[in-house]
Amino acid sequence: MSSVRAGRIAIVGRPNVGKSTLLNALVGEKLSIVSRRAQTTRSNILGILTQDDAQYVFVDTPGFQTKHGSPLNQRMNRGVRQALGEVDLVLLVVEAGRYDQQDRVVRQLVPAACPLIVAVNKIDQIADKNELLPFLARLAGEGDFSAIVPVSATRRSQLDFLLGELRQRLPEAEWPYADDELTDRSERFLAAEYIREKVFRLIGDELPYAVAVEIERFVVEGGLRRIAAAIIVDRPGQKPILIGRAGQTMKRIASEARQDMQAMFGGPVFLEVFVKVRSGWAADEQVLASLGYE
């Protein structure tokens, strides 16, 4: 094949700017998931969009989504820098009308040599479009951006334009992935990853050790997916942290993970999540194999 394009694109930005919403809007049902074994880099593949002659591999750079300051996050930010060194493009998501110190911190982690495209999201919240122009001008003065594209992820507006800007800057390369990799096993893997991400996001600072997620049941009944998952912790003392007062933390983990699954799988999900204590799980070969580490 000649003249096809493919590349890894990191989506970065401070919390709440709409990164997940934008990713979902971009890859939508065309999402394909690859197994952990295919990954040798520091970033996680979030989704792959194959459209026309281009394959966009969107990756996550863990660390941007957490609060700043803690030693754990500082360590993670070093990981972020390295992860960003392995991508072809960076898509920085900011919120229309707001670009401040928090955004600059993220922007500064991007290596100078890497093309940086800014998606100015949530433009639907700006009633008077004239207000947007001075903001875009200020943004242009902030840094060396390859392109600045106003979008609305929730309304799906200007997304084709954004993809066009990304496409132009993707290297010419053969596609690293097939365009139809969505399988049941991959969905299982993704389901576990979503739960792990929520655990990390909601209580990562309190659970500094690895948390494993095991999918115990994954049944597809028509359009409905019935999923049962165990969060495996190492010590009994970690269980109450996960469950939270009156089960609140667990409820949030399950509810947010379910929403992500529904968006990605394109149908309803019935999700049960529980906590299991298994001392020394990381040494348990069976657990590791079921998680795809074999």
Q: Which residues sit at the interface with ligand GDP, rule CB under 6 A?
A: 13, 15-21, 121-122, 124-125, 152-154
C-alpha 196, offset from chain centre: 12
Closest residue to ligand GDP using C-beta atoms: 18
Shortest distance, CB of residue 185 to ligand GDP, whole angstroms? 26
Shortest distance, CB of residue 257 to ligand GDP, whole angstroms? 13
Shortest distance, CB of residue 152 to ligand GDP, whole angstroms? 4
**Cβ proximity to ligand GDP, 13 vs 115, nearer residue:** 13
Shortest distance, CB of residue 95 to ligand GDP, whole angstroms? 8
**Cβ proximity to ligand GDP, 99 vs 281, nearer residue:** 99
C-alpha 200, offset from chain centre: 13
**Cβ proximity to ligand GDP, 122 vs 188, nearer residue:** 122
Enter the tokens of residue 186.
């991959």
CB 80 within 8 A of CB 90: no
**Cβ proximity to ligand GDP, 124 vs 216, nearer residue:** 124
Long-range contacts of 102-110 (CB under 8 A, 24+ apart): 102/14, 103/13, 103/14, 104/142, 105/14, 105/68, 106/12, 106/13, 106/14, 106/64, 107/142, 107/143, 109/12, 109/77, 109/80, 109/81, 109/84, 110/12, 110/84
**Cβ proximity to ligand GDP, 120 vs 229, nearer residue:** 120
Closest CA to 207 of 66, 97, 58, 104: 66
Shortest distance, CB of residue 99 to ligand GDP, whole angstroms? 14
